Structure 1
């Protein structure tokens, strides 16, 4: 199941995204819209992003594009996610434990000061390994 949380540095992420019409019921259709435009899913980097807008959660299925040409050809909106320090937990065999994702994000937010301007991030490392990340507020120096 989940690994112990660690702090990691992420680079800026430039992603093509498909916004879910609602949360959580619109998550699967958002992924289907994004994946249906791809010739293959192999070797691609996929991300799930959840933002808080007012009192609602907004979800985006995201994909790291291979080129500017792909962005133009697929015609999805793009988002830039600011890099920096993130708290990360790895969830193994995630398809069987997807129901634990919300609980794990809750634990991360309990244990680390989340930057409210950034999203929670699901990075689909493989068919069996999911990285759950939250942006961490840097302490004042």
Structure 2
């Protein structure tokens, strides 16, 4: 685990995945087809009933989001506890455990969404925000 510092907010547009975990691949496939060469993210948090609320997201502009009917949000600048996962496509069942370890760290700030940053086809970063 390491701390990754984001120097600036990252604006993203997203598609909700209402049937998590089903539908994640389809949501990202839609983004990949429309927006090649972007940074892609998974954003998630737990609702009051303990269900995972998940968004498939791509880096982009507010104008693109409005043009294509996507929601928008940002990944805030600052320090993020981070764990690299290599060969992540073969480890999707264990990603929840990686986030569990990150969220057990006393520096974890639960006010922010958890972030999956798909750095490449082989590498994903699991990230949770550090408290100030």
TM-score band by shorter chain is 0.7 to 0.9
Give the number of the structure whose alpha-carbon radius of gyration is greater.
1
Q: CA deviation at 1:91?
A: 0.5
Distance 1:7 1:30, change over 3 A: same
- The one-character-per-residue Cα deviations of 1:18-54 (angstroms, maximum 9, x if unpaired) are 0011222232333234334x1x53x210000002221
Distance 1:111 1:84, change over 3 A: same
SS at match of 1:15: strand
SS at match of 2:128: strand
Pairwise CA RMSD: 1.8
Following the alignment from structure 1 to structure 2, what is the Cα–Cα distance between the partners of residues 68 and 15?
8
Following the alignment from structure 1 to structure 2, what is the Cα–Cα distance between the partners of residues 71 and 57?
23
- Is residue 13 from structure 1 mapped to residue 10 from structure 2 by the alignment? yes
SS at match of 1:23: coil
Distance 1:136 1:68, change over 3 A: closer
Give TM-score scaled by structure 1 length: 0.82
- Give unmatched runs, 5+ long, in structure 1: none
Give TM-score scaled by structure 2 length: 0.87
- Give unmatched runs, 5+ long, in structure 2: none
How many pairs align? 130
CA contact (8 A) 2:13 2:62 kept: no
Following the alignment from structure 1 to structure 2, what is the Cα–Cα distance between the partners of residues 59 and 91?
19
1:26 maps to which of 18, 23, 26: 23
1:35 maps to which of 32, 35, 53: 32
Following the alignment from structure 1 to structure 2, what is the Cα–Cα distance between the partners of residues 51 and 110?
15
Partner of 2:58: 63
